[in-house]
């Protein structure tokens, strides 16, 4: 490829696109990390993102406030994951089967609601204002792309460290990890394993719902049925490869964000790529990542295993 392709415009577009595409993945993958550490495999993560995207968009569109839209997305995500809590945590049903059912139900529900409310129209939201970080925003190429963002993006960056601190430095975080690695020992210590898994699942729903809301309000400014396009499953892979470490989850999300945005960056410098290749690239990246790193991933011993008190 001609070296003239790699211009400042190309890298600026690549970084901007990676952040736009990577942030929903980051939030969903952070949520999945919490669930997995508690022993829950949330296959329905994409369904949670979809309802969060729809509710976030509808509320932001009707109120004119992106922040109220984000709050609605969080509440919607937690509501979806209450289904995981009821069927998987307390009733002990198969987590994969329930997750797939939740995904299919949310795909159908959001499509139905969108058609009933908007018909064939697709209203758009106004762009959310961006804020430059003094000093950092002046860095060539990187500054305008990475450090001139909507306020919610900076909050998401802070969540990387907050989730890491929560999982490894707080009693509740340690109990969540114990619920996935050694639930019997946690139960013997007098801690309610089901309550801990409930908290973890609701936190996952909140983060995944916010990820969907970010996608509809910030990334696209519009809601389209099935707009997640497999991102929930990519987030699950990122969480598994992150080995419970939020920093690695962030790195994985950024890399997949690059894979999702590279076509736009290339088009900006005059190179057109087939739409089929663009849609295929993230999933090819997933397969390569799994082939290279899947054996090194460390998953909790009780992952996807229902906890029944008295059973060992």
Q: What distance in Å separates the CA atoms of residue 204 and residue 283, rounded to the nearest whole number? A: 23
Q: The domain containing residue 221 runs over which residues? A: 7-117+144-296
How far apart are the two ends of the chain, measured CA to CA in Å? 58
Does the CA dihedral 217-220-222-225 come out positive or negative? Answer: negative
The answer as to whether 123 is a domain residue is: no
Look at the pTM and tell me if it is higher than 0.85.
yes
Q: What is the pLDDT along the chain (312 residues), one digit of tens a residue?
A: 455 556 677 777 788 888 888 999 999 999 999 999 999 999 999 999 999 999 999 999 999 999 999 999 999 999 999 999 999 999 999 999 999 999 999 999 999 999 999 988 899 999 999 999 988 888 887 888 888 899 999 999 999 999 999 999 999 999 999 999 999 999 999 999 999 999 999 999 999 999 999 999 999 999 999 999 889 999 999 999 888 999 999 998 988 888 877 766 666 666 676 666 766 777 777 778 777 766 656 789 999 999 987 665
Nearest to 146 by CA among 254, 267, 268, 266: 254
Calculate the CA dihedral of residues 73, 303, 234, 47 and round it to 10 degrees. Answer: -40
The answer as to whether 307 is a domain residue is: no
Contacting residues for 225 by C-beta, under 8 A, at least 6 apart: 107, 110, 111, 114, 115
The answer as to whether 131 is a domain residue is: no
Contacting residues for 178 by C-beta, under 8 A, at least 6 apart: 185, 186, 191, 196
Q: Kindly state the tokens that stand for 134.
A: 């003094």
> Can you tell me whether residue 147 is helix, strand or coil?
coil
Q: What distance in Å separates the CA atoms of residue 71 and residue 303, rounded to the nearest whole number? A: 29
The answer as to whether 222 is a domain residue is: yes
The answer as to whether 169 is a domain residue is: yes
Calculate the CA dihedral of residues 38, 237, 50, 275 and round it to 10 degrees. Answer: 180
Domain count, the chain: 1
The answer as to whether 127 is a domain residue is: no
The answer as to whether 134 is a domain residue is: no
The CATH number of residue 20's host domain is 1.10.3470
């Amino acid at each position: 490829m001609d070296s003239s392709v790699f211009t400042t415009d190309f890298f600026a577009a690549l970084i901007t696109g990676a952040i736009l595409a990577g942030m929903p993945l980051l939030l969903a993958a952070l949520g999945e990390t919490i669930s997995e550490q508690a022993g829950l495999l949330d296959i329905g993560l994409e369904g949670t993102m979809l309802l969060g995207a729809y509710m976030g968009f509808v509320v932001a569109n009707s109120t004119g406030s992106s922040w109220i839209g984000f709050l609605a997305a969080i509440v919607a995500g937690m509501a979806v994951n209450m289904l995981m809590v009821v069927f998987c945590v307390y009733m002990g049903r198969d987590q994969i089967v329930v997750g797939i059912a939740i995904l299919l139900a949310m795909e159908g529900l959001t499509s139905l609601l969108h058609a009933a409310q908007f018909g064939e129209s697709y209203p758009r939201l106004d762009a959310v204002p961006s804020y430059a970080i003094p000093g950092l925003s002046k860095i060539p190429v990187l500054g305008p792309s990475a450090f001139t963002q909507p306020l919610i993006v900076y909050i998401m960056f802070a969540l990387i460290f907050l989730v890491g601190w929560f999982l490894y430095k707080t009693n509740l975080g340690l109990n969540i990890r114990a619920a996935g690695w050694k639930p019997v020992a946690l139960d013997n210590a007098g801690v309610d394993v089901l309550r801990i898994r409930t908290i973890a699942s609701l936190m996952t729903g909140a983060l995944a719902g916010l990820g969907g809301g970010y996608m509809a309000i910030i990334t696209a400014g519009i809601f389209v049925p099935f707009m997640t396009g497999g991102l929930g499953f990519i987030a699950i892979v990122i969480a598994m490869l992150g080995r419970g470490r939020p920093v690695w989850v962030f790195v994985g999300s950024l890399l997949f964000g690059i894979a999702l945005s590279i076509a736009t960056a290339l088009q900006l410098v005059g190179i057109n790529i087939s739409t089929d290749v663009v849609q295929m690239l993230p999933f090819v990246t997933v397969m390569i990542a799994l082939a290279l790193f899947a054996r090194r991933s460390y998953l909790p011993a009780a992952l996807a295993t229902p906890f029944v008190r008295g059973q060992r």
